Amino acid sequence: MKERITLTLDSGVIHVIDQRIDGHRIKNRSHAVELLLMQALGNAHAPKTAVILAGGKGVRMQPITYEIPKPLMLVHEKTLLEHTFDLFRKHNIRNIVISIGYKGHKIREVIGNGRRFGVNVTYVEEDKPLGTAGPLKLAEHMLTETFVACNADELKELDLSDMYAAHKENKALATVALTTVEDPSNYGVAKMQGSRILEFIEKPKKADAPSNLINAGLYILEPEVLNYISDGFSMLEKDVFPKLAKEGKLFGYPFTGQWFNTGTLDLYEQAIKKWKDIA
């Protein structure tokens, strides 16, 4: 619930606030003030827990992944997992659950309890591949409040505080971070009605794509979403999100920050060249 208040501010402060308004990520003066206050208060009302899905085999990155799991691949001398930690720490998310599977022991060896990276890490382990939703069911006992879930094999930079505010304003059960690509034909493309996602169209022809917005592999989820996940192998994209979309509970959050897919050797090379580390 939000309440209206009146503030009297110095004109110089108002000027600084207005410079933050871009009409997209930060929509108006009130929105800008709210985000500044949330940041100053340590994002007290933002999620405190995140799940990183790190159990995949990284088949398209062989032969590199013959030796190491994909989340331990390096970009600028940091693993992909460490870059994700940087994003979460920036938004005061320090409780991290990592779902491991393929060569998970190597992730445990490198990351440990996470303290040297400024986070607290616990693990859930997949005895067999569980997809993108199944691991969340394994971690259910740790996910009792709004949480973030994300893939381990992409580099992302977005305002999680603003995404969380949008998630709550929409009364969503799930909010999907959406990034814009020039050619969406290799991705799941969001068909939108306002901020609500009606469906994802999988790998449409460029001319037939309903938008250029694709799933960026990061989500804000309510614990109730876990009730939509069956035991065993399950995919958020195919098994969970379509159900939420039909019920009008799936929303999108377009963002303009950095996003790099590292799914192939060519894309990995681009990420190394173009990614700017999160301060």
71-127 pLDDT, tens digit per residue, is 999 999 999 999 999 999 999 999 999 999 999 999 999 999 999 999 999 999 999
Q: How far apart are CA 212 and CA 200, in angstroms?
A: 11
pLDDT for res 207? 85
pLDDT digits (tens, 9 = 90+) for 146-166: 999 999 999 999 999 999 999
Q: Where are the alpha helices (DSSP H) in the chain?
A: 11-19, 29-40, 64-67, 80-90, 104-111, 134-138, 160-169, 241-246, 265-274
pLDDT for res 60? 87
Per CATH, the homologous superfamily of domain 47-274 is Spore Coat Polysaccharide Biosynthesis Protein SpsA; Chain A (3.90.550.10)
Q: Is 57 a residue of the active site?
A: no
**Confidence (pTM):** 0.85
Q: Which residue among the candidates 203, 243, 246, 274 is catalytic per the annotation? A: 203
pLDDT for res 17? 77
